[in-house]
Homo-oligomer: A and B are copies of this chain.
């Protein structure tokens, strides 16, 4: 449904009496022709309303598409914070943009994901904290695309960018132990609806999600070493449920004195529930989050949490992917290495009296 015949390289070439290749070079390889001619070509193109080479045609000819995909776990989005995801995406996109690559979202929640993963043109992809058993992930692998796994345990030989979830969680739990807590609740999705007061091992489904599995493992390591058995486990399916779950938690006769939360967003819900139950934080209940989400500073008391640098994670993932893509063309480049970014415990008001008001 184009009103007029499309302007192509050839049509410009014809009007100027030069070869099509020369016009192509005027746009893509300015050093291949004289400035004078290039100027005439660009002027003619402008007057004809030509906008530059057609992206699809160029992709076909060059083999590069100008975009990389992100397999995005929208289910986990409910457990992790959207803000963290958005920040990550922003960091990746920013790091990619100078090289002219855009970021294509392949949300896993939608029905069409397999089709997307199979049919959308891309030069590489990032799998961001999604279930490793996802069919769409299979397709990306079969397409033999450069692939970076973020917050996931990568298959052998694949590149992963992770953070030290386990170490951070261990530090968080150890912090509570050091404060003398012996009745500690774990507030995390990943256990089934039948999760009892004392948690068993993580069910298979949760074990697949590295973020949950590792943080859980870290907590358990520190607690077990101290002889503390987590007394209660609460399994919010959505963040919205976390508050409701926390209320149940506090109603228990054997109320915990501290809560380890999978994320800051969940911790915030626990704080709100504690306030509603008339519990003082940190005196009656200590609360620890994870991520150092911006909101950890906006709660009152401020939230003790484990800081991760989402921005750095995004940039590292983008750089690793760029390296992989470059490696396709130049086999002499070394493969990017797996990276595990450090995290750091941030002690604030929700576990230490006196921290409430100040940073």
Spell out A's residues near B (CB within 8 Å).
Answer: 1, 49, 51-60, 63, 65-67, 69, 72, 74, 77, 81-83, 85-87, 89-90, 93-94, 96-100, 102-107, 109-113, 115-116, 118-122, 139, 142-143, 239-240, 243, 268-269, 271-272, 275-276, 294-295, 297-300, 328-329, 331, 357
Known: A59-B56, A97-B112, A268-B298. A142 touches B51 (CB 8 A): yes
Contact (Cβ within 8 A) A56 B66: no
Known: A66-B121, A77-B86. A298 touches B105 (CB 8 A): no
- Give the complex CA separation of A63 and B77 in angstroms: 34
Contact (Cβ within 8 A) B56 A121: yes
21 contacts between A and B (CB under 8 A): A51-B143, A52-B119, A56-B63, A59-B60, A59-B121, A60-B60, A66-B119, A74-B94, A77-B90, A82-B83, A82-B87, A82-B90, A90-B107, A90-B109, A97-B110, A97-B111, A99-B112, A103-B107, A104-B104, A104-B105, A239-B294
How many copies the complex holds: the figure is 2
Contact (Cβ within 8 A) A100 B86: no
- Give the complex CA separation of A334 and B297 in angstroms: 49
Interface contacts beyond A55-B119, A66-B119, A240-B294: sample of 13 additional A-B pairs, CB < 8 Å, sorted by A: A52-B118, A54-B60, A55-B120, A56-B59, A57-B60, A65-B121, A82-B86, A90-B109, A96-B110, A97-B116, A98-B110, A243-B297, A272-B299
Main secondary structure of the interface of A (DSSP, over half): helix
Question: In the complex, which residues of chain B have a beta carbon less than 8 angstroms from the beta carbon of A243?
Answer: 297-298
Q: 4 closest A-B pairs (Cβ-Cβ)?
A: A97-B110, A55-B121, A56-B59, A97-B112
The residue on B at minimum CB distance from A242 is: B298
Contact (Cβ within 8 A) A98 B111: yes
- Give the complex CA separation of A65 and B60 in angstroms: 12
Question: In the complex, which residues of chain B have a beta carbon less than 8 angstroms from the beta carbon of A116?
Answer: 66, 97, 100, 102
Q: Chain B CB within 10 Å — which of A59, A85, A143 has the most?
A: A59
Contact (Cβ within 8 A) B67 A94: no
- Give the complex CA separation of A215 and B266 in angstroms: 31
The residue on B at minimum CB distance from A53 is: B119
Question: In the complex, which residues of chain B have a beta carbon less than 8 angstroms from the beta carbon of A51?
Answer: 118, 139, 142-143
Known: A116-B102, A142-B51. A110 touches B82 (CB 8 A): no
Question: In the complex, which residues of chain B have a beta carbon less than 8 angstroms from the beta carbon of A72?
Answer: 93
- Give the complex CA separation of A355 and B317 in angstroms: 45
Contact (Cβ within 8 A) B298 A269: yes
Rounded to whole Å, the gap between the CB of A139 and the closest CB of chain B is 8
- Within 8 Å by CB of A65, from B56, B297, B331, lies B56
Contact (Cβ within 8 A) B118 A121: no
